[in-house]
Amino acid sequence: MTETPTKLPKSQTTESTTDESTTLDPPTRIPNIIRCVGPGLIVAGSIVGSGELIATTKTGAEAGFSLLWLIVLGCVVKVFAQVEFGRYAIVSGKTTLMALDEVPGPRFRGRGNWLVWYWMVMWLCSISQLGGIVGSVGQALAIGAPITKSGADYNEIADAQTLLQFERFANRNSETGEEAFVPTTTDAEIESRWEAFRSQYGDNTSTADAAIWATVIAIVTSLILYNGRYGMIQSLSTVLVASFTLLTVVNLFLLQDQPDFRVRFSEFINGLKFHLPTASGNARPIGTALATFGIIGVGAAELVVYPYWCLEKGYARFVGKNDGSPEWAARASGWMRVMRVDAWGAMAVYTFATIAFYLLGAAILHRVGLNPEKDNLVRTLAVMFVPVFSTWASSIFLFGAFAVLYSTFFVANASHARTFSDAMRVIGLIDDDAVTRAKWIRWLSGGFPILCLMIYLVFPAPAQLVLLSGVAQGIMLPMLAGAALYFRYKRCPPSLTPGALWDFMLWLSAAAMLVTGLWTVWAQF
């Protein structure tokens, strides 16, 4: 007997509830299960950007290989909590914030509980993170296609300064004793060019090009998302993330032919052993790593948003209302299987990408002594492609940086529109009906990109904005771990009770999230 390929009904951007009229038997064959995944790919599109490209490489640049173990742990350990959030969404049809509002603790009557209100604080930091992301997209475009004469002049001098530091390292470490790169300039020449730049354009050695491009990107994204649908978001994020992830892995593979920058097996193994780096200069690798832990893999923001995409995909509608029947239990179990494949499959993708980004940051930026930050964030990250692609490095990286950063900006704004409109409903600011929420999702989808732009224009420091969000998410991780345990033991139907090994791993996940949250508070405050 052959299985009929599962065809999913058209997704909706309105209320995602259980409905017996749309129940659907789950697929059982692997090809058909794969056809039904998607929420994890959207989350991966949000993850592989601020977390991997910026925070992870910055951690590698500051800590070297020593914190590889923390990066891997951050990607894997939170998936168990993610699946518990997804389980409760599937069996109840409730959104994440509606579910969090059920967790015991202090609350304002009719206005949400403590978890919902802290989520609002984290949301503000997450929006600030997207301000950093749109600024980074603007930087990438300003480097590749400067708009003003000052922008073009700035690029030439900043590129020469960054390249000189790379060349100096490569020549100092050349195994042949000869110069690996012929110096293109000197420190004195660069300083002279900066003085001429300041004399012509003013004391501020920066330009408006990144802000102009960020404005264009924010407006275009606002228009797209205002009219966007689930399928377009899923397809666009998948293509963008896959393209740059492949490019990064190829770069890391070809890097092994470079004696000065190859990742040695001993360095990789030592990086997986538990030990902590020491601070050097202005770098604070532990603080950076803790902030990174909060946003790599499924960070707190992704743990919250993942069930929304599961609901919008239709998993809860396909399961239907829990009537206690064996048929319902079979459907729920089957769609849980699909959701687990979706979650763990996405984890494999972003963990692989995260390790690649971290190794590039440790192997190149850390050794050269470059730390990606502020106006030179994207330009510094582009150095990771110089050993392999040489003169083509900047162009290749800028394409990839635009792809992955814009994917994050695009997906995360769509996600925030859904979660924030839901929060407004939970705390009683808007009516609790599908039409009202759909209207607000559309308005917020168009408004949030503009809000992100305004944050960047006021505080144009992308790396710091990203790490601020990481701290806020790190603090919320223990709260979400407690909520996941509550859903497992107080809201899980007996027919879907997992085994002892799963419970052990869930507790281990919760413990790791608790330690990270406490460590973040101690290190930052």
Of the candidates 80, 57, 77, 54, the one whose C-alpha atom is nearest the C-alpha of residue 68 is 57
Q: Is residue 15 part of a domain?
A: no
pLDDT at 88: 95
Q: How far apart are CA 422 and CA 262, in angstroms?
A: 48
Residue 228 sits in the same domain as residue 167: no
The count of domains in the chain is 2
Residue 422 sits in the same domain as residue 460: yes
Residue 143 sits in the same domain as residue 201: no
**DSSP-derived 3-state class of residue 283:** strand
Q: What is the pTM of this model?
A: 0.78
* Adjacent-strand bridge partners of 107: 113
pLDDT at 11: 41
Q: Is residue 22 part of a domain?
A: no
Please say whether the beta carbons of 467 and 51 come within 8 A. no
The label of the residue with tokens 């692989």 reads: 352
Of the candidates 485, 505, 506, the one whose C-alpha atom is nearest the C-alpha of residue 103 is 485
Q: Is residue 17 part of a domain?
A: no
pLDDT at 8: 45
Tokens of 482: 């407690």
For the stretch 205-231, pLDDT in tens is 667 898 999 999 999 889 888 886 546
Pseudo-torsion of CA 282, 285, 286, 288, nearest 10°? 90
Residue 461 sits in the same domain as residue 333: yes
Residue 187 sits in the same domain as residue 133: no
Within 10 angstroms of residue 269's Cβ, the number of other Cβ atoms is 11
Tokens of 426: 């939970």
Q: Is residue 3 part of a domain?
A: no
pLDDT at 104: 94
CB-hemisphere CA count at 13 Å for 90?
A: 33
pLDDT at 479: 94
Separation in Å, CA 203 to CA 91, 128, 154, 379, 497:
60, 28, 13, 21, 65
Residue 174 sits in the same domain as residue 61: no
Q: Is residue 253 part of a domain?
A: yes
pLDDT at 292: 73
Residue 144 sits in the same domain as residue 246: yes
Task: Kindly give the parts of the chain with pLDDT less than 50.
Answer: 1-16, 230
State which residues form the domain around 190.
153-207
Q: Is residue 24 part of a domain?
A: no
Residue 166 sits in the same domain as residue 56: no
Please say whether the beta carbons of 46 and 412 come within 8 A. yes
Query: For position 346, which CATH number holds?
Result: 1.10.4160
Q: Is residue 12 part of a domain?
A: no
Q: Is residue 517 part of a domain?
A: yes
